[in-house]
Copies of this chain bind each other. A is one copy, B any other.
Amino acid sequence: MQEAAQAILDFNGLGLSLIEISHRSKDFVAVMEEARSLTKSLLGLPDRFDVLFLQGGASLGFLTSAYNFMPEGGSAAYVDSGTWAANAIKEAGRLGQAHVIGSSKETNYDRIPELSAVPAGSAYLHYTTNNTIFGTQFQSIPQVDMPLVADMSSDIFSKTFDPAPYQLIYAGAQKNMGPAGTVMYAFDRDAAGKTGRSIPSYLDLEVHAKKDSMFNTPAVFAIYVTMLTMRWMQSIGGVATMEKRNNQKAGLIYNEIDRNALFEGHAQVESRSKMNATFRLKDEKFAAAFDELWKSAGINGLKGHRSVGGYRASMYNALPVESVQVLVDVMQELERTH
């Protein structure tokens, strides 16, 4: 935050703000290039991947991913594991057939669904690695005989994974990467450009890649802070260190949810997310007391999404272990006093 604030006042000692210099100045081009290359090194992406920082969030990514990898007249397989996954299916359905090979909608998305066989001819399997609203997360990479496309908006950089099966990974910055306003695309340049589609320029990943992610004016500030965040991650040991911390945090909160007789989880145990723990009081009569306790402990935004109710503890990369401990202490305090 200190570095970001300083860059607003005077960037790189230029006597100019980061937000008033040209995005084509060598100082900002260096930021963009460092952000692109840190993404590749932190995720261990092989050379076939190009990395871009664009705009429009994953919501535009739902359309962009289908435009770039679903052939004209073709189809792809999709997993319906939550609100955003369902939105991805809706947008892809405009361009071709989006086969839903698994859905947990009927149980209010309380689990990662079982997957049925992928229909022949599907170009890729699309899935949402983590579902923030429901607190569920894929525990392993789906084993299918086709390339994967994944929306990793809410758990990118939270754990190491093998990039081999992926054709496209995309992620809005605002959970684990940086401020709102940019979305990262890492795509297989050898697999792109083969759909036979005429792709609108802004939605064409190859158009952006040819311009080194500067086809039009990028989200300068958001990309700069994302780059700072990646520098920080690298300095403390990269994604493996984040994963260790995230395991610790998730261990703390789920242990308490399971141990404390006043609470129960929303997400099924085998689908639990390490980014968002969803839980509720077994008896609503303790709600006022609990809400007072966590608010006075300085906890923010613990209320669950309206479609789930209860509570949601979000534990993105930036949240320290100590903050989860504060919540656990509060839950134990409620137990002691009620």
Contact = CB atoms under 8 A, between A and B. Distances in A.
A179 interface: yes
B91 A221 contact: no
A301 interface: yes
Contacts of A198: 94
Interface residues of A, number: 51
A114 B59 CA distance: 40
Contact of A6 (B5, B62, B63, B220): B5
Nearest to A222: B181
Contacts of A1: 8-9, 17, 19
A9 B5 contact: yes
Contacts of A216: 57-59
A215 interface: yes
Contacts of A189: none
A63 B59 CA distance: 16
Contact of A22 (B8, B200, B202, B301): B301
B222 A219 contact: yes
A20 interface: yes
A218 interface: yes
A225 interface: yes
B55 A94 contact: no
A172 B202 contact: no
Contacts of A4: 8, 19
A245 interface: no
B220 A180 contact: yes
B60 A174 contact: no
A266 B201 CA distance: 30
Given A5-B5, A19-B178, A56-B56, 18 more contacts: A8-B8, A16-B300, A22-B301, A23-B180, A55-B60, A56-B202, A57-B217, A60-B202, A91-B200, A91-B201, A94-B198, A174-B217, A179-B220, A180-B217, A181-B181, A181-B182, A219-B222, A221-B222
Closest 10 CB pairs of A and B: A181-B219, A55-B55, A19-B179, A59-B216, A5-B8, A5-B5, A60-B202, A180-B220, A180-B217, A57-B216
